Amino acid sequence: MDIHKVKPAPGRPRSQQAMEAVLTAVRQLLQTTAYKELTMEGIAKAAGVGKPTLYRWWPNIASIVMDVMRQQAHHDVGVPDTGSLESDLLLYIGDTCRSLTQGAGGIMRSLMAEAQFDDGFAQIFRESFISSRRAMLIALLQRGAARGELQKDADLELLADLCYGPIWYRLLNGHASLDEPFVQAITAHIIMRG
Amino acid sequence: MDIHKVKPAPGRPRSQQAMEAVLTAVRQLLQTTAYKELTMEGIAKAAGVGKPTLYRWWPNIASIVMDVMRQQAHHDVGVPDTGSLESDLLLYIGDTCRSLTQGAGGIMRSLMAEAQFDDGFAQIFRESFISSRRAMLIALLQRGAARGELQKDADLELLADLCYGPIWYRLLNGHASLDEPFVQAITAHIIMRG
Amino acid sequence: MDIHKVKPAPGRPRSQQAMEAVLTAVRQLLQTTAYKELTMEGIAKAAGVGKPTLYRWWPNIASIVMDVMRQQAHHDVGVPDTGSLESDLLLYIGDTCRSLTQGAGGIMRSLMAEAQFDDGFAQIFRESFISSRRAMLIALLQRGAARGELQKDADLELLADLCYGPIWYRLLNGHASLDEPFVQAITAHIIMRG
Amino acid sequence: MDIHKVKPAPGRPRSQQAMEAVLTAVRQLLQTTAYKELTMEGIAKAAGVGKPTLYRWWPNIASIVMDVMRQQAHHDVGVPDTGSLESDLLLYIGDTCRSLTQGAGGIMRSLMAEAQFDDGFAQIFRESFISSRRAMLIALLQRGAARGELQKDADLELLADLCYGPIWYRLLNGHASLDEPFVQAITAHIIMRG
DNA sequence: TCGTAAACGAGACGGTACGTCACGTCTTTCG
DNA sequence: CGAAAGACGTGACGTACCGTCTCGTTTACGA
């Protein structure tokens, strides 16, 4: 236990409230407004926060929204480990598609779009979402490969692309749905090919 | 022989010059400027055209850029017909990836991103690019299937997703390149699976 | 002694500089440009001020110009009190006509014209200029009446119209000048009639 | 007598219909719209006439409106000749004020305002309205003077200013009405002073 | 009875200025 | 002395009209 008091920083303390108010406000705004309608001005007003405060913590809207998404990201899609690659894939891809279909899809599309315009954001987005998800999938595949459920020389990176590619492609273009047959087809495809 | 006279529209006819000046100006601007830096004001000024003229013919920047892209779209990627599905795919996917790698990629990324924000544009974009390209690929696959190079019950739509999905996924995320090995891998994948 | 503290408004205070820059810029612009040539854009640029700042404080150009005029209005025409109505009138009407002849005339014509188109501005214009000037003249007439230099039942409002009416009429139509003989004639007229 | 035939201009003659359609349309527009709301585009559309046709015959809106006014100008105010200056003035000034009160006032205010901005229009306006009306009043005064109802050396120009000045002044500022007492006061004033 | 030429309607053109919006920064006061 | 509040300069937005131009059509004279 620490008897010494923490020397308080001089000046007005940082408002913990402010940060959370922002995230909460954005979460609510996103339920009635499209991502593209969000403005720094609007968020500041909705959160009861000054614009400079916003800029002190986040460089742009995409970053705020990404923090919001991150808050609830891991709730949606876990990494199964059933002992069978096929079951694992069915669960993992299924969860992913369900999450995207049930509301997260719209925002993810927006963030992916934003990443095409803003390099700084792109980097964070890819690290936070894309790469982290890819890593999970690849770990899952690796377990399968170790069990001999894939060919020894299977290119797991490519398999990940063959999994996530069609998902994003359908999500972004909306020409077909991310339904159960799709999940099964993708899974079957990976198993057979790998 | 056509007896019916074409009723000409009254009023001053649309200036061919103006349209082309705009497209040319945008093409040039895009060589020195990012898509996101384009503004209607800037385009109007660069093209020596009034802003209202711009708005008369295009609702937004994305539409102008898409017209630019459409102008040169068919030059880049043709539809091969070698008699072998594998050769066809290698050529078609190869051309596609080369085109995207050699300059069109950045703009296509921007247009895809724009389509996530603007429903009206999304529809045109998907019809002009996505669907038309998918249709070509599917026709190519169909010829292969007719020759027995694919299973009889192969889901060609899904195969198209398995082809374009990874391409777009890599293009949008930049985590891997659209190089020759990738083209071969995708091709091999489709052939084996189909 | 004032115990009550004035509660200062939060946030950045209104920039005194900006306001004065605008008024100064307009004053200078008016020396080389006709009132009708003024544009909000031009004023903003000349004053080194943002357009929104202009609109924050003034609804239109006429209001800005009126503020400019108000700044120097009282310098030109004072209210004499010589003890003689005739002398007072000669001085007052003379000053008025000289002021209008020497530069203020053009702008006053423009403001009067603007007041015919914009009701909101008309009200402010009449209160700021017309009524305040009429009040001064009437006060002057009242002193004369109190000294018995006018008939007891003289209608001072009408006399004010008979004074200002011809002045504005000549100013607006330019068919005759506001010279010394005119001043004397108007004065003589009011004295004799009243 | 002229033997030479007038060489008719070749080509399609000016359309009488078009001109009248314009004037009629403007007259109607002015009943529901303020003068300042009129636009060349709107007039052309309302009259079913091309914009170039408008510009062929009138340089600006004020000129069109003035033609409308001129059409019905002489109906409202005639020049009485009762043999008595006082009666003449009461009738003439009375008619003038009634005309202005009953609808012409608003448009006349607008035209006077327009004349402050546009020198070309100002000249025509003053010749068409102001001077012609002044001339009538002065003729009327001259008859009275010839009958000895005014002083021999009376300055009729000044008297005209003393008559029209207050009328316009009240019309433009709206601080008092152009009612019968006003007419009588002005008349009495001129008679006594002259 | 036709060809010619001017005026017509329509409407697109290059422009200018509008009034608004959001940006990201700057300058206060308050806690 | 940092957070909040909000005014600031900037610059693009999309719109409204401007006055001009270029069409194909209509009309009435003169050859």
Indicate the average pLDDT of chain A: 87
pLDDT confidence band for D11 (50 / 70 / 90) = low
What distance in Å separates residue B169's CA from the closest CA in chain A? 5
Q: Identify which of C55, C57, C61 has the alpha carbon closest to the alpha carbon of residue C34.
A: C61
CB A66 within 8 Å of CB A128? yes
pLDDT at residue B1 above 60?
A: no
pLDDT confidence of residue D9: 62
Taking residues B65-86, what's their average pLDDT? 86
Residues 122-141 of A with CB under 8 A from B: 122, 126, 130-131, 134
With DSSP H G I counted as helix, E B as strand and the rest as coil, what are the percentages for chain A, rounded to 5? 75, 0, 25
Q: D171: which residues sit within 8 A by CB, 6+ positions away?
A: D100, D105, D108, D109, D178
Question: What is the three-class DSSP state of C15?
Answer: coil
Among the partner-chain residues B110, B175, B192, the one whose CB lies closest to the CB of A126 is B175
Nearest CA in chain C to D105: C116
Q: Choose between D1 and A165: higher pLDDT.
A: A165
Which of C167, C159, C166, C168 minimizes the C-alpha distance to C140?
A: C159
The answer to whether the Cβ–Cβ distance between D116 and C117 falls below 8 Å is no
The answer, for D105 touching chain C at a CB cutoff of 8 Å, is no
- Where does the pLDDT of residue B194 fall: very low under 50, low under 70, confident under 90, or very high at 90 and above? low
Structure token digits, residue B85: 């599905």
CB contact under 8 A, B116 and A131: no
pLDDT of D158 > 90? The answer is yes
Q: Which nucleotides of F are covered by protein (CB under 7 A)?
A: 1-30
Residues 6+ apart with CB under 8 A from C19: C57
Q: Output the pLDDT for position C14.
A: 66
How far is residue C79's CA from residue C139's CA, in Å, rounded to a whole number? 9
Does position A194 have pLDDT exceeding 80, yes or no? no
Q: What is the pLDDT of residue B3?
A: 35
Best C161, C163, C189 member to test D by mutation, with max D CBs in 10 Å, is C161
Contact A167 B165 (CB under 8 A): yes
Flag whether pLDDT at D71 surpasses 60. yes
pLDDT score for A129? 87
Say yes or no: A62 contacts chain B, CB-CB below 8 A.
no
**C166, C140, C158, C143: which is closest to C194 by C-alpha?**
C158
pLDDT digits (tens, 9 = 90+) for A94-112: 999 999 998 788 889 999 9
User: Mean pLDDT, chain C, as a whole number?
Assistant: 90
Model confidence at B78, in pLDDT bands (50, 70, 90)?
confident
* Element containing residue C70 per DSSP (H, E): helix C61-76
Read off the amino acid at residue B157. E
Closest CA to D165 of D140, D136, D186, D151: D186
pLDDT at C5: 40
User: Residue B113: which of A113, A161, A164 has the nearest Cβ?
Assistant: A113
Residue type, B165: G
- What's the pLDDT score for residue C16? 78
Give residue A30's pLDDT band: very low, low, confident or very high (50, 70, 90): confident
Residue A13 reports pLDDT greater than 60: no
Instruction: Give the percent of chain A with pLDDT over 90.
Output: 53
* Angular region, D139: left φ>0, alpha ψ -120 to 50, beta rest: alpha
In eight-state DSSP terms, residue A13 is P
Nearest to A133 by CA among A185, A102, A168: A168
Distance in Å, residue A118 CA to nucleotide E16 C1': 34
**What are the contacts of A31-36 at 24+ separation with CB within 8 A?**
A34/A106, A34/A110, A34/B117, A35/A61, A35/A65, A35/A106, A35/A107, A35/A110, A35/A111, A35/B117, A36/A110, A36/B117
- At D92-140, the pLDDT tens digits run 999 999 999 988 899 999 999 999 999 888 998 999 889 999 999 999 9
Please give the nucleotide, over all strands, whose C1' is closest to the CA of residue D44: E9
Closest chain C residue by Cα to residue D183? C158
Closest CA to B66 of B9, B130, B138, B1: B130
> What is the spatial distance, in angstroms and rounded to an integer, between the CA atom of B3 and the C1' atom of E1?
26
Interatomic distance B5 CA / F31 C1' (Å):
32
CA distances from C166 to B35, C29, C163, D180 (A): 64, 30, 6, 20
Residue C1's pLDDT band, with cuts at 50, 70 and 90, is very low
| pLDDT at C159 (0 to 100) | 97
* Residue B15 pLDDT exceeds 90: no
A79 touches chain B (CB under 8 A): no
Structure tokens at C114: 């603007």
SS3 content of chain D, % helix, strand, coil (to 5): 75, 0, 25
Q: Which of B116, B158, B161 sits opposite A110 (nearest CB)?
A: B116
More confident residue, B18 or A173: A173
Helices A61-76 and A16-32: crossing angle in degrees, nearest 10, is 80
In three-state secondary structure terms, B77 is coil
Using CB atoms, pick whichever of B126, B165, B175 lies closest to residue A166: B165
Looking at the partner chain, which of C109, C155, C165 has a beta carbon nearest the beta carbon of D168?
Answer: C165
Three-state secondary structure readout of D45-103:
HHHCCCHHHHHHHCCCHHHHHHHHHHHHHHHHCCCCCCCCHHHHHHHHHHHHHHHHHHH
Q: What number is the average pLDDT over the span D84-91? A: 97
Contact B162 A164 (CB under 8 A): no
Phi, psi of A18 (to 5 degrees): -55, -50
* Contact yes or no for C166 and D165 at CB 8 A: yes
Distance of CA B36 to the CA centre of its chain: 18
D158-CA/F6-C1' distance, Å: 58
Instruction: Kindly indicate the confidence band of residue A16, based on its pLDDT and cuts at 50, 70 and 90.
Output: low
Which partners does chain B have (≥3 C-beta pairs < 8 Å)? A
pLDDT at C13 over 90: no
- Measured in angstroms, what separates residue A72's CA from nucleotide E24's C1'? 30
Please give the full DSSP string across A53-82, using - where no structure is assigned: HHHHH-SSHHHHHHHHHHHHHHHH------
Contact flag C131-D175 (C-beta cutoff 8 Å): yes
Provide, as residue numbers in chain C, all residues whose Cβ is less than 8 Å from the Cβ of D167. 165
Residues of chain D with Cβ-Cβ distance to C190 below 8 Å are: none
Using the CA of D47, give the nucleotide whose C1' is nearest. Answer: E9
Burial B149-185 (b: 16+ CB within 10 A, else e): bbeeebebebbbbbbbbbbbbbbbbbeeebeeebbeb
Q: Are B94 and B183 contacting, i.e. CB atoms less than 8 angstroms apart?
A: yes
pLDDT digits (tens, 9 = 90+) for C153-173: 999 999 999 999 999 999 999
Q: Which residues of D touch C165 (CB under 8 A)?
A: 161-162, 164-170
Tell me if D119 sits within 8 A of D159, measured CB to CB.
no
Q: Which residues of B touch A170 (CB under 8 A)?
A: 161, 165
- Cα–Cα distance between B161 and B173 in angstroms, integer? 17
Set out the domains of chain C in order of their start, with CATH numbers: 1-57 (1.10.10.60), 75-193 (1.10.357.10)
Q: How far is C29 from chain D (nearest CA, A)?
A: 17
Contact state of B162 with A158 under an 8 Å Cβ cutoff:
no
Q: Is A110 on the interface with B (CB under 8 A)?
A: yes
Q: Within an 8 Å CB–CB cutoff, is residue B175 touching chain A?
A: yes
- Answer yes or no: are the C-beta atoms of C167 and C100 closer than 8 Å: yes
pLDDT tens per residue across span A37-94: 999 999 999 988 889 889 988 989 988 988 888 877 667 778 899 999 999 999 999 9
pLDDT value, residue C70? 85
**Amino acid code (one letter) for C80:** P
| Cβ–Cβ gap B130/A170 under 8 Å | no
Map residue D36 onto helix, strand or coil. Answer: helix
CA dihedral of A106, A108, A110, A115, whole degrees rounded to 10? -170
Instruction: Please choose, from the candidates A107, A191, A90, the residue with its C-alpha nearest in 3D space to the C-alpha of residue A149.
Output: A191
Supply the mean pLDDT for chain D: 89
So what's the pLDDT on residue D143?
Answer: 96
Provide the pLDDT for residue A76.
Answer: 72
pLDDT band at D3 (very low <50, low <70, confident <90, very high): very low
Closest nt by CA–C1' to B56: E12
pLDDT at B125 over 50: yes
Which candidate from B109, B126, B162 shows the least CB-CB separation from A189? Answer: B162
Exposure letters A47-75 (e unless 16+ CB within 10 A, then b): bebeeebbeeebeebbbbbbbbbeeebee
SS (H, E, C) A96-139: HHHHHHHHHHHHHHHHHHHHHHCHHHHHHHHHHHHHHHHHHHHH
Output the distance from B63 CA to E14 C1' rounded to whole Å.
22
A71/E22 CA-to-C1' distance in Å: 27
CB D43 within 8 A of CB D54: yes
Name the band, by pLDDT with cuts 50, 70 and 90, for residue A2.
Answer: very low
CB atoms within 10 A of CB A112: 23
Residue-wise pLDDT tens digits, C134-143 = 999 999 999 9
D115 vs C contacts (CB less than 8 Å)? 113, 172-173
* Proportion of chain B in helix, strand, coil states, percent, rounded to 5: 75, 0, 25
DSSP A176-188: S---HHHHHHHHH
> Taking 50 as the threshold, does the pLDDT of residue B2 lie above it?
no
- Tell whether A190 is within 8 A of chain B (Cβ): no
Partners of residue C134 in chain D, C-beta under 8 Å: 175
What is chain C's percent helix, strand, coil content, to nearest 5? Answer: 75, 0, 25
Instruction: Tell me which nucleotides of strand E come within 7 A of a protein CB.
Output: 4-31
Tokens 């295009």 sit at which residue?
B58
Enter the tokens of residue C23.
């008024």
- Shortest Cα distance, chain A CAs vs residue B166, angstroms: 4
Could you report the per-residue pLDDT of D27-44, keeping only the tens digit for each? Answer: 999 989 999 999 999 999
Q: Which of A107, A19, A96, A94 is nearest to A62 (CA)?
A: A107
